[in-house]
Structure 1
Amino acid sequence: MIDVKNVSAGYGDGEVIHNVNFRIGRGEIYILLGPNGSGKTTIFRVVAGILPPTKGRVMIDGVDIWEDERVKSRLGYLPEGERVYPDLTVLKNMEFFAKIYGIGEDRIREILENFGLSEYRNKMAGTLSRGLRKRLAIARTLLHDPEVVILDEPFSNLDIESVMALRDRIFEMLEEKKSILLSTHILDEIHNFEEGRVAIVKGGRMLVEKDLQSLVGSTEMLLKVSNPDKAGEILKDHGFSVSVTKSALIVGTEKNENISDAIKVLIENGIAVLEARYKSNPLEKFFK
């Protein structure tokens, strides 16, 4: 679907990324993992057709996006942050981008409904919660139904419920056979994706590329909650392996979906989840 071949790029006289290579098939997710300043955003700007490479090619189904501008319409790019116009209503935000792609009102109405934004259509985007602004930004990114979706740090600065909602939306896009390129500096977020590949980026170079399962495997998750004893009983009743400490729960899991399920069960039963993280992360060794 999309092939990135020997790409280098930078700003001015200096290169920021060096000889980047990867491929994403239809319905696959590819995750770039690295600290801030590692070069992830520069890679995304090249793949999205914004920053020309100094070397290498970006191909969609064998067509170079820098040789045929029409191919770029098959891309949807969400830069880091919400990137919506705060002084425009939700509807006006969508209409602005719809004009760029020549999209009519029916598609705007459809995607607002699909993203649960119809009731906010006349509200100023700047008055929405951070989670809703992110939802609006993703709706805008998908307005023209792109085949390749590029999400730069989509989970940053979101509360747990918004993260879970966004994660579910990504799973839906994968079921729709969209190719997803996603970046994060949050190591724990990798555990929530069962299939796909992850590349560790540092200093503008890809240090390692692995299947997600070969890196993640089984884990233990630490949850800080409002009532550990009650929360532990609830999760045990739902079949989770749980141990309770003075201030937290330790939830054992061998299936990544159980992590999200555990948090959902607690929230549905009135337990506030204050923090969710993994006791240890096998990916940490690549950052030392």
Structure 2
Amino acid sequence: MSIEVHNVSKFYGNQKALNNVSFKVKQPEIVGFLGPNGAGKSTMMKILTTYIKPSSGETKVNGYSSEQLQDIQKSVGYLPEHNPLYLDMYIKEYLSFNADIYKVNKSRINEVIALTGLTPEIHKKIGQLSKGYRQRVGLATALLHDPEVLILDEPTTGLDPNQLIEIRNLIKSIGKTKTVFLSTHIMQEVEAMCDRVIIINKGEIVADKTLKDLRDEKEQVVIVEFDYRVEDAFLLKLPKASKVINTYDFVYEITFKTSEDMRSYVFDFAHDNQLKILQLNQKNASLESLFRELTSN
């Protein structure tokens, strides 16, 4: 396993940021780490990169324990949420500075510049770059020493649509041979890039699923509006109905555990019970709806 987290908790004073968190990530794999603001994502990433220590529990990265700081740091590339850069340096100058720290051959600098699409801006100082290109410099720095594990905190922040596609393709390419553990708020990015998603809420893991499992889950949501209120328990008598939410007034979202279109069943149900249907729509259950469901409380 590239990343192993066993019963990790982290306190900041009396505030618990992580509560007994455990998961594993293999190589190669791209894992999306999702959660609302303050859920503990950045704290977990800082622990994995040895920037901070957990209050309790154990972590391993590339087989190295959290006590083997230099070994972990040599084998991990890290792009933090707030990308720290020397704005008065030129791109190549900054990467050369980091290459000296990692004791990397300077030929690697041109490789990561080309890899991250920085070539058109190579003549500029970092302070002259757009936010998107600054993000590319941070990603180039994380890749400079050819690490086995990439830990990326909000890697697509500030990118325009074209840059976003390029960086997405780059991350997908890297993930064919390396472990990529990334956080993001953009659900579409997770669905486009990741093999698996881990959702954290209030410092606890609330879901750990592969994207294939999410796509294969036979589940749908039917939105129906009646002419008067209906008890949730009554609607749960529909075939394969698993959940009912009264979203507002007389509008209901009914979740069915099946891929079969259930609108005809809802229509027949309304007819049999002398209900009028004012609207009847279907939507697919998605990663976004799962995220909202698990992090809304």
TM-score, normalised to structure 2, is 0.70
- Opposite residue 155 of structure 1, the aligned amino acid is T
Q: Which residue is 1:157 aligned to?
A: 158
- Opposite residue 208 of structure 1, the aligned amino acid is A
Q: Which residue is 1:179 aligned to?
A: 179
| Secondary structure of the corresponding residue to residue 10 of structure 1 | strand
Q: Which residue is 1:223 aligned to?
A: none
Which of 83-92 and 141-150 deviates more?
83-92
Please tell me whether the aligned partners of residues 135 and 157 of structure 2 are also in contact (alpha carbons under 8 angstroms): no
Matches within 5 A, 1:223-234: none
| Secondary structure of the corresponding residue to residue 16 of structure 1 | strand
Q: Which residue is 1:285 aligned to?
A: 293
Q: Classify 1:157/1:36 alpha carbon distance in 2 versus 1 (closer, same or farther; 3 Å).
A: farther
| Secondary structure of the corresponding residue to residue 4 of structure 1 | strand
1:107 Cα shift? 1.5
1:117 Cα shift? 2.2
- Distance in 2, matches of 1:141 and 1:119, equals 20
Answer with 1 or 2: which has the greater Rg: 2
TM-score, normalised to structure 1, is 0.72
1:143 Cα shift? 0.3
- Distance in 2, matches of 1:123 and 1:160, equals 22
- Opposite residue 51 of structure 1, the aligned amino acid is I
- Opposite residue 29 of structure 2, the aligned amino acid is E
Q: Classify 1:61/1:135 alpha carbon distance in 2 versus 1 (closer, same or farther; 3 Å).
A: closer
Q: How large is the Cα RMSD of the aligned pairs? A: 2.3
1:103 lines up with 2:101 in the alignment = no
The runs of 5 or more residues in structure 2 that have no matched partner are 220-283
Q: Which residue is 1:72 aligned to?
A: 73
- Opposite residue 40 of structure 1, the aligned amino acid is K
1:188 Cα shift? 3.1
- Distance in 1, matches of 2:86 and 2:216, equals 41
1:15 lines up with 2:26 in the alignment = no
Q: Which residue is 2:44 aligned to?
A: 43
1:61 Cα shift? 4.0
1:162 Cα shift? 1.7
1:145 Cα shift? 0.5
Please tell me whether the aligned partners of residues 132 and 157 of structure 2 are also in contact (alpha carbons under 8 angstroms): no
The sequence identity of aligned pairs, in percent, is 35
- Distance in 1, matches of 2:182 and 2:294, equals 19
Please tell me whether the aligned partners of residues 90 and 122 of structure 2 are also in contact (alpha carbons under 8 angstroms): yes
1:156 Cα shift? 2.5
